[in-house]
Each structure stands twice: as C-alpha cells, then as structure tokens.
A and B are shown apart, each in its own frame.
Chain A
Amino acid sequence: MSTLELLALQPPGWGGNLLRGLANSIQIAVGAYGLGLAIGTAGAYGKIYGGPVLRDLLEVYTTVVRAVPELILILILYFGLTDLVNQILVEMGRDRIQISGVIAGIAVLGVVQGAYSTEVLRGAILAVPHGQIEAARAMGMPAGMLARRITLPLMLGNAIPGLANLWLIATKDTALLAVVGFSELTLETRQAAGTTKAYFTFFMAAGAIYLAITLLSQWGFARAERWARRGEPAVAAGAR
C-alpha cells in the first residue's frame, strides 16, 4: 500500500484510527488541564493564604506528585485506585466496577497537572503588585470578587508562559495512558505501525499531528497573553 492509502481515513487505511486516537488524546488533555487549573488555583490560594496545616498538606501534595515519575503515578492511581475502590465496593456487598479510561486518564493527569500549576499560579499571584490588591480591599471589595476580578486577571500575564508549558506537556502526557491500554494517539499509531509494518510512515504522521497541536496551541496562547497584557506598554517600545 502507498503512504496515502495507509493514511486513508477509511479502512483498510489507518487514518481514521489515528484521528480517533487524536480525539481521545485531546479530550483527556483538555479535561486534565481544566482539572489541573482548578486544583492549581485552589492550591495556589491555599499555599498563599491558607493556615499552616493546609499549607503543609499542599506542600506534601506538590512535592510528592512532582517527585514521582508520571508513569508510576499513572500505574499507582489507575490500578491502585481501581483496586481500592473495588475492594471497598466488595466489602459493601456491591459489584465491582470498571473505571472508564477517559475518567481515569483525566483524573490521573489532572492531579499531576494540578501540582505543577499550583506552583505556576502561586508564583504568578505573588508577582501581582500588592498595591492593586490593597486598593480593591480598601474600597470594600469582598475577597471572592477580588480574586475573580482583580488578582486572577492581573496574574494571568505572568502565568500564561508557564501555563502554556503545562498544556503542551498535558497533550503529550496523554501518550503515557497507553500503558493502561487507553487508545489515545500514540497507542493507535503503534497498532497501525505494528500491523502494517509501516513504522516510519505512522510515527512520522503522529509526530506531525503532535507538532500541529503545538503550533496551534502556541498561536492561541500568544493571543491570550497579548490580551492578558493589554494594559502593559510593549517592552520594545521602551518601557522599563
């Protein structure tokens, strides 16, 4: 078969499988990234404003998650957690359940992303000029609104470079879920390559797809950063 036939969307071509894998990968990456941002925002606020106990717990979380290889975390959380949940269910006299690959993937990668984004967001929040937060406080703005309308928009410009990194890592970390048999882009590619023996073609195709995701993401993040920094004079224009 020619390269084009191999990559055709309809069988016997494998293009359709690759795209399904891509869709799964993106689904997991988006879910995990969103979960990671939610954990990260809460974690960053907890580390900055929380009490000593909360701060210590968050420190343990960010340290452990960032210390252990993600592959091991995935295996622990996927098999270990499934096992634990099922043991509990059996104890309670219920049937065992099969945790869906998508949910497990999002949960596992989300917890990993959360640890990293806690630190990215903590740094970005601390870089917000304190006077601007104080001005809002001095005018009687409640804490939740202050975070939503002042602190978080102000820290965004500082956070976006780090958050863009995390997103690109998330898109590629989905490949790790291949070890638990989740059919994302990398696993689909391996199957296609193994079956057809056209290794070079399929891995190059997968590489090109990952590259395309990255380019598109970079464009999106660049726009977002420009918007977040709309109130700042361009550095090139001679500010500072």
Chain B
Amino acid sequence: MTGTTNGVQAQPAERPEAIAVRDLRKSFGSHEVLKGVSMRACEGDVVAIIGGSGSGKSTMLRCINFLETPSGGEITIGGERVEMRPDGSPASRRQIERLRQSLGMVFQSFNLWTHKTVLENLIEVPVHVLKVPRAEAEARARKLLDRVGLAEKEGAYPAFLSGGQQQRAAIARALCMEPRAMLFDEPTSALDPELVGEVLAVIRALADEGRTMILVTHEMKFAREVASHVIYLFNGQIEEEGPPERLFGAPRSERLKQFLKSVA
C-alpha cells in the first residue's frame, strides 16, 4: 500500500494515509451544510467526529463514500484521488464502486437486508461483487459472526434479532468485505440504552486491533476512550480538533465547552 504524504506535517515513520478530505463542501439547495472541512486519517487512526444535531457530521462521513455528492473539495482514499467533476459529482461510477468496496459503512439504522439471513447478508457482497469463492466467504463470515458473538444466529433473518444483534451483524457484514477502513454513522443512536454496550464493545475491539475508523458518535465517553483524533464540527465547520485528552480535557472554544456540558 502506498500513501501520499501530501507534504503536510510529514513525520518520521509516518503510516500510510488511509483517507484524506480537503476543503469539502456540501450544499442542499441554498443551505450550505459543510463549509470547507478537511481531515486526514492514516492507517490505524480512529477519528471521531462529534457535534450537535445539524452540524454536518453525518454529511461529512457520507461524503467520504459519496452517499452524498459533495459540492466541492477533494477526497483521497488509500492515496487514490476521487475524480470529481467541477460540481463535485463523481466522474467515474466505476471508481466510486471500487473505492466503496474498500470502505465498510455501518449505519445508524443497521440496514441489514431483510430478505436474507444473517450469513447471506455477510457473504452477499464478497461473493457477488468481489467474486470471493462462496466457501471461502462463508468461512470468513462465520469467523466474524463468532467474533461479534452471533455464531448461533447465522440462519436467522434480521427482523428476528434485537437491535444490538442487528448492529453487530451489520458490523460483521462490513468487515466481511475486508475493507481498508470502517465508517460508522452514529452506530448506537438507534439502540435501546441497554444494548449500546455490546455494540461499543465490538467497535472498541476493532480499534484495539488497529483498524482505521472514522466514527460519528454521540457517545462522548466512548469517543474519548477509543479515538486517536477528535473533530468537533459546528455549523458545517471544524470548530476545534485534536487528541481526545486535550479536546475533552481542556477544550478551548466556548462552543465546544458548551457542547460538552450539554451532552454530559
């Protein structure tokens, strides 16, 4: 894997770059949701994006794999720059599809395919898109299900699982593609409070094994524990960012202080 150094803060023994976002803008009609945000994640980094409702944090995450079409800016994944037209829309559908296959996305509402069993959900993309032999994909899927504690649920349909189980299955589904990085869009926001812990435990284990992750979350305590870098978004701009100890321990901006007080 090769990573561009971008010439920014080139440190000794720098890890390869996984995801870089530069001056990202996004408007819905006349409403500008992202007003030029930049971010950089090297392999093994866990970047947490926090902020209030409407701050643009989910939009920022969704722009990375083009579920939202940016209005401008630049996105680089694994050193490969996404070709964009002047209006920000992707120039090559093929390239987008290929890059998306290297990003495991986990949604707030799980979004498992309800007409497929848990195991079928996991192997769907590996078998049919990535052309992994079925037996190999199934072996990989069973190992992942075992890891997230769902070994005995492989034949169940998603609707028969609890929210926490569905979200763990969804994480396993994303991992089954063997992605370069994981994107989490408020993965615990739709869960009953007693089910949040089991999902966070799975995400924490992924962070501990050095997976690259970008995490939009409302769980401040969790972000503080697992993140290597935290970005606080306010009104479509990065208000403050830094290592979690500093950002949570000694916030500088008044808005962040207020925000942290309001969610505490």
Q: Kindly state whether residue A91 has any CB partner on chain B within 8 Å.
A: no
Of A9-17, A98-106, A193-201, A230-238, the stretch lying at the interface with chain B is A230-238
Once the chains bind, are B113 and A134 in contact (CB under 8 Å)? no
**For the complex, what is the distance from the CA of A231 to the CA of B159, rounded to whole Å?**
7
**For the complex, what is the distance from the CA of A229 to the CA of B148, rounded to whole Å?**
27
Once the chains bind, are B111 and A232 in contact (CB under 8 Å)? no
1/0 per residue, CB under 8 A from A, across B146-180: the answer is 00000000000111100000000010001001000
Q: Please give the distance in Å from B253's CB to the nearest CB on chain A.
A: 32
For A134, give its contact among B67, B101, B116, B125 (CB under 8 Å).
B67
Query: Which chain B positions have C-beta within 8 A of A93?
Result: none
Q: Residue on A with the closest CB to B183?
A: A138
Q: Kindly state whether residue B100 has any CB partner on chain A within 8 Å.
A: yes
Once the chains bind, are B67 and A138 in contact (CB under 8 Å)? yes
Query: Which chain B positions have C-beta within 8 A of A87?
Result: none
Given contact pairs A131-B109, A232-B159, A142 touches B97 in the complex (Cβ within 8 A): yes
Interface residues of A in 59-87 (CB under 8 A from B): none
Given contact pairs A134-B67, A134-B107, A233-B159, A142 touches B129 in the complex (Cβ within 8 A): yes
Query: Which chain B positions have C-beta within 8 A of A230?
Result: 115, 157
Q: Please give the distance in Å from B224's CB to the nearest CB on chain A.
A: 27
Once the chains bind, are A231 and B116 in contact (CB under 8 Å)? yes
Once the chains bind, are B113 and A138 in contact (CB under 8 Å)? no
Of B67, B113, B124, B157, the most chain A CB neighbours within 10 A belong to B113
**For the complex, what is the distance from the CA of A182 to the CA of B98, rounded to whole Å?**
54
Once the chains bind, are B111 and A131 in contact (CB under 8 Å)? yes
Query: Which chain A positions have C-beta within 8 A of B109?
Result: 131
Query: Which chain B positions have C-beta within 8 A of A149?
Result: 124, 128
Once the chains bind, are A139 and B125 in contact (CB under 8 Å)? yes
Q: Residue on A with the closest CB to B113?
A: A132
Q: Residue on B with the closest CB to A229?
A: B115
Q: Please give the distance in Å from A237's CB to the nearest CB on chain B.
A: 10
Given contact pairs A231-B114, A232-B159, A140 touches B97 in the complex (Cβ within 8 A): yes
**For the complex, what is the distance from the CA of A138 to the CA of B108, rounded to whole Å?**
14
Q: Please give the distance in Å from B182's CB to the nearest CB on chain A.
A: 12
Q: Kindly state whether residue A137 has any CB partner on chain B within 8 Å.
A: yes
Of B117, B124, B170, the most chain A CB neighbours within 10 A belong to B124
Q: Kindly state whether residue B65 has any CB partner on chain A within 8 Å.
A: yes
Q: Kindly state whether residue B21 has any CB partner on chain A within 8 Å.
A: no
Interface residues of B in 15-72 (CB under 8 A from A): 65, 67
Q: Kindly state whether residue B99 has any CB partner on chain A within 8 Å.
A: yes
Q: Please give the distance in Å from A232's CB to the nearest CB on chain B.
A: 6
**For the complex, what is the distance from the CA of A90 to the CA of B110, rounded to whole Å?**
63
**For the complex, what is the distance from the CA of A136 to the CA of B96, rounded to whole Å?**
13
Once the chains bind, are A139 and B115 in contact (CB under 8 Å)? no
**For the complex, what is the distance from the CA of A139 to the CA of B99, rounded to whole Å?**
9
Query: Which chain A positions have C-beta within 8 A of B65?
Result: 138
Q: Residue on B with the closest CB to A233?
A: B159
Query: Which chain A positions have C-beta within 8 A of B129?
Result: 139-142, 145
**For the complex, what is the distance from the CA of A150 to the CA of B110, rounded to whole Å?**
15
Q: Please give the distance in Å from A11's CB to the nearest CB on chain B.
A: 52
**For the complex, what is the distance from the CA of A154 to the CA of B114, rounded to whole Å?**
8
Q: Kindly state whether residue B216 has any CB partner on chain A within 8 Å.
A: no
Query: Which chain B positions have C-beta within 8 A of A46?
Result: none
**For the complex, what is the distance from the CA of A232 to the CA of B104, rounded to whole Å?**
26
Of A131, A135, A142, A232, the most chain B CB neighbours within 10 A belong to A135
Once the chains bind, are B177 and A150 in contact (CB under 8 Å)? no
Once the chains bind, are B114 and A137 in contact (CB under 8 Å)? no
Closest 10 CB pairs of A and B: A140-B100, A140-B101, A131-B111, A231-B157, A135-B111, A138-B105, A140-B97, A231-B114, A139-B125, A231-B115
* Interface residues, chain B, with chain A CB atoms under 8 Å away: 65, 67, 96-101, 103-105, 107, 109-117, 124-125, 128-129, 157-160, 170, 174, 177
Give 27 CB contacts A-B under 8 Å.
A129-B111, A131-B109, A132-B112, A134-B67, A134-B107, A135-B105, A135-B107, A135-B111, A135-B170, A136-B125, A137-B100, A138-B100, A138-B105, A139-B100, A139-B105, A139-B125, A140-B96, A140-B97, A140-B98, A140-B101, A141-B128, A145-B129, A149-B124, A150-B113, A231-B114, A231-B158, A233-B159
